[in-house]
Amino acid sequence: MKGVSFVTDETRKRRYAQIDLKGISQYDDNAFEDLMDLIIAEARKDEKSIPWESVKAELIKEGKINVPNSRKAVRKKRA
* Cα torsion through 37, 42, 44, 50, rounded to 10: 70
Residue 47: predicted pLDDT: 94
pLDDT of 69 over the 70 cut:
no
- Residue 19: CB atoms within 10 A of its CB come to 15
This prediction's pTM: 0.43
Residue 22: predicted pLDDT: 75
What confidence tier does 72 reach under pLDDT thresholds 50, 70, 90?
very low
Q: Classify residue 22 by its DSSP letter.
A: H
pLDDT of 77 over the 80 cut:
no
* Tens-digit pLDDT profile for residues 8-63: 999 999 999 888 877 776 777 777 788 889 889 999 999 999 999 999 999 999 99
Q: Classify residue 20 by its DSSP letter.
A: -
d(CA 14, CA 6): 6
